[in-house]
Amino acid sequence: MSDATDSQGLAGRLWGRDPVKVLALLAVIYAVYIALGLAIGFEIRGQINSIATLTFYIGVFGIMALALNLHWGYTGLFNIGIVGFMAIGIYTMAVVSKPAAETASQVGGLGAPLWVGMLAGMVAAAVLGLLVALPALRLRADYLAIVTIAFSEIVRFTLLSRTFQEFRIGDRTIGLGGGSGLLLPFNPLQSFLDVTRLNVLQDALVGLAEPIIGGNADAVINSFLYGVLLLVIVAIYYVVLTRIGRSPFGRVLKAIREDEDATKALGKDTNVVKTKAFMLGCALMGLGGVLWYMQSGAITPNTFRPRLTFFIWIALIIGGAGSNTGSVMGGAVFAAALFQGPRYLQNLVESAVEVDAPSNFAGAVAPIFDSLSVNPFLFYVIDNVRQLQLVFMGLVLIWLMHNRPSGMLGHRKEAAASVSLTRRPAGQTTAADGGRPGAGGGDGDE
Amino acid sequence: MGVSESYERGRDLFQSNPIGFVLGLAVVILVLDMVRKLVTGDVTVARFGLVLKAGVMRGMVIGLAGIGLSLTYSILNFANFAHGDYLTSGAFSGMAVSYLIAGNFGRDASIGALLLVGTGGSVFGGALGVGAVTAPVAVLAGLIVAGVATIGLTLLVDRYVFKPIRDRSGITLLITSIGVAFVLRYLILFVFGGSKRGVTAEQPSLSVGVPGGAVEIGTHDVALFVVAGVLMAGIHLLLQNTKLGKAMRAMSDNEDLARVTGIPTERVVRYTWIIGGGLTGVAGYMFVLWKGTLGFFDGWLLLLLVFAAVILGGIGSIYGAIVGGLVIGITFSMAPIWIPSAFGRAAAFVVMIVILIVKPEGIFGGTSTA
């Protein structure tokens, strides 16, 4: 290799590394948001707030897409009941960890420590995953899809029903709260920071921010720190799932995705492996649900409608099923461009012009014919961004399935083999893995 | 027949299909328990009749919509998650026309309010007198437009969304159909608004006296029953007696074989959408006419029940879809006799899941599109 191409080669090699891709993507997203924030004319407080919200959604969608990737990307299990497992996770956690009710009319919990509740949430999600998996995993993919979505709706009806609203165990009143939901008196961030002694850092940040953004700086800083904590958890999910994917167990999963009968013929008990993978994914989804909602103050059953499941699916499909890097990037792109983006643009427009939106579609369309004035229609569009963004998500999904079915990174599915399956001509290295020598070559894709 | 003989038969039955036997037993026990409840007066005959009627009516809607879903499922080989929103589209387009005609083309209220089906409480169906007796022309026109508009919509969606990826796997098509469902549902929300509105006026009804009260049979019960029954009979004749029906059955059996035999598969696909879309649109319209309220979420809420019916009956079988629809509808309505009413829908899903596990090919399974 000559000197001239060396620096180019270095940049190429650097770009070939997946964490670099993820960090570059995040940098671009944050740059755009900060620029937009400046355009809106946010104070520094609003700026940090919007970045914190963005980070939160990048984190939760990354976590959920990674968990789904274990089901769909690795094992080929078509699970569209994700919200069901999320709901079980957070509700179990709430019942286990909420303090006992002080008055008889309140719905209390068992008062266990926070981490016990989180663990219980994961276990409950895994156990219900087993309950679904036992009969359903031998079904065709489209049947599994219908069973899982029906299951997630059954979970929602159960949470909504008055039957389980509250009941007594011993002298405690616990329950699921019915349609009005549950209050969540948790402060997971503070507990975490106190336990890990990172609260020193938190105090320092607050002290630093106080002069700039004024009073009550800790609320802003805390929501920002929670977002950062979620990103750390995304990294942990990523490492764990990548290790699982490379393990012999992971290779069996990929083999099942490609051809279950062949895998069976090679002597693997595919039903057991699929059940394990499904339960593990469900536990991760349960934990995802806990992390998503535990600091939100309250939950209601109707949060867990199937459309949340489809959000996570779109995130995974954007990134490309089968790749953990793709999952994280898909989660980030979905959160920034499709989920938060339109709302952010709405803010942008509303801060620039006085939006005087008509109350219904007739009022929006009539002026076009009467006086060729499109402003009311545009205002109506701005006012209803939250509905139109779902239309847009649908269009993106259709476009992706037509044009990029394997996601933004292209074909990234890992082969179900421990050695590289691409033939290397003598003296040349394959482009896919950046030419890394040695035993790790086969895993260059990730 | 002696006791030992029937015992033998029972044992054979149990050995050949133990899970089916247990399920059959469960159904028999539930029926016997129902009889006991009726005799002891736990459940009055009036309540039983009311619940059964509601179940049959809902079942007719699910069955009618299920025929369309079942046809596309077997011929195009994918589960269409946009089907529920085809129902909603039919309901809104048909109701817009009914409102327009019942409102005398803008003389009783503004055209915009009528065409948007009274969005935001600008005009009420009850005030316009929308109903099969009070405004028969409006309802008939609405019915026809619901069918035609939904046919147009399904053909349009097929042309631009499903046709370019016809050769891909069923899962790819399924995911794409979720995208279509999002687009349709939230466009409807964007245009027509999110309020759940009452759309019909009070109609005459017939009260049948039974022990413990009376069972009311309304105009729209009869209308739904007649429309659904006629359309079901028509689709039966079409599939059994015409060349198109034969071609459709051939295609759902084996598409490649159908093509080499000279069947124009793309044309059959188009007719599949026309039949399925028309029935679905009409089902959506009759559903809202029957229940009297309209919201953008209606079709989606019905979709999983329609899936349940289609799977129960066996994908590709239109009789299966009809019977499955009735079973699911009746389960949905009857379940609250035994379990808390919040779980009626859940009970219908459980029936579907059990069938998927025990007999994934459905009760009419194996006989495709017949």
- Distance between CA atoms of residues B285 and B270, nearest Å: 22
Which member of A135, A136, A397 has the closest CB to residue B178? A397
**Mean pLDDT of all residues belonging to chain B:** 86
Q: Is residue A445's pLDDT more than 50? A: no
Q: Does A368 touch chain B (CB under 8 A)?
A: no
β-bridge mates for residue B208, sequence order? B215
pLDDT, tens digit (0-9, with 9 covering 90-100), for B191-244: 988 888 888 888 788 888 777 777 888 888 889 999 999 999 999 898 888 888
Collapsed DSSP state (helix, strand, coil) of residue A298: strand
- Distance between CA atoms of residues B263 and A141, nearest Å: 29
CA distance B188 to chain A (A): 10
Out of A27-41, A199-213, B174-188, least confident range: A199-213
- Distance between CA atoms of residues A230 and A58, nearest Å: 9
The secondary structure of A329-397 as a DSSP string is HHHHHIIIIIISHHHHHHHHHHHHS-----SSHHHHHHHHHHH---HHHHHHHHHTHHHHHHHHHHHHH
The secondary structure of A383-436 as a DSSP string is HTHHHHHHHHHHHHHHHHHHH-TT-TT-S-PPPSSSS--S---TT---TTTTT-
Out of A307-316, A326-335, B254-263, least confident range: B254-263
Q: Is residue B36's pLDDT more than 50? A: yes
Q: Is residue A430's pLDDT more than 70? A: no
Q: Does A370 touch chain B (CB under 8 A)?
A: no
Q: Is residue A400's pLDDT more than 80? A: yes
Q: Which tokens go with A226?
A: 């929670």
Q: Does A145 touch chain B (CB under 8 A)?
A: yes
Out of A425-429, B145-149, B187-191, least confident range: A425-429
Phi, psi angles (nearest 5°) of residue B164: -60, -20
Contact B331, B351 (CB under 8 A): yes
Mean pLDDT of B164-186: 92
- Distance between CA atoms of residues B171 and A142, nearest Å: 7
Which pLDDT score is estimated for A293?
Answer: 92
pLDDT, tens digit (0-9, with 9 covering 90-100), for A240-270: 999 998 898 988 988 888 888 888 888 888 8
Collect all residues with Cβ–Cβ distance below 8 Å to B341 and sequence separation of at least 6: none
Cα A341 versus chain centre, distance: 16
Query: Is the whole model's pTM more than 0.90, yes or no?
Result: no
Which one of B182, B192, B301, B331 makes the best mutation probe of the A interface by having the most chain A beta carbons within 10 Å? B182
Query: Is A287 or B345 the better-scoring residue by pLDDT?
Result: A287
Mean pLDDT of A406-413: 75
Handedness of CA B331, B336, B340, B344 (dihedral sign): positive
Using CA atoms, how far residue B5 sits from B1, B2, B12, in Å, is: 6, 5, 11
| Closest to B169 (Cα-Cα) out of A445, A145, A312, A136 | A145
Check A161 against B343: CB less than 8 A apart.
yes
- Distance between CA atoms of residues A359 and A376, nearest Å: 10
Q: Is residue B5's pLDDT more than 80? A: no
H-type helices in A186-269, by residue range? 188-195, 199-213, 217-246, 248-258, 260-265
Q: Which tokens go with A170?
A: 């011993």
Query: A 66-95 residues with CB below 8 A of B?
Result: 78
| Closest to A155 (Cα-Cα) out of A211, A93, A88 | A88
Using an 8 Å CB-CB cutoff, list chain B residues near A147. Answer: 353, 356
Using an 8 Å CB-CB cutoff, list chain B residues near A146. Answer: 79, 304, 307, 311, 352, 356
- Distance between CA atoms of residues A412 and A320, nearest Å: 7
Which member of B179, B307, B346 has the closest CB to residue A154? B346
Confidence of residue A183 (pLDDT cuts 50, 70, 90): confident
Q: Is residue A132's pLDDT more than 80? A: yes
| Closest to A268 (Cα-Cα) out of A253, A258, A288 | A253
CA distance B63 to chain A (A): 18
User: What percent of chain B clears pLDDT 90, i.e. is strictly above it?
Assistant: 34
Q: What percent of chain B is helix, strand and coil (3-state, nearest 5)?
A: 75, 5, 20
How many CB pairs below 8 A link A and B? 139
Which member of A157, A313, A361 has the closest CB to residue B343? A157
Q: ipTM exceeding 0.90?
A: no
b/e map of A259-284 (b: 16 or more CB within 10 Å)? ebeebeeeebebeebbbbbbbbbbbb
Contact A329, A100 (CB under 8 A): no
- Looking at chain B, which runs of residues are DSSP E strands? 197-198, 205-210, 213-218, 293-294
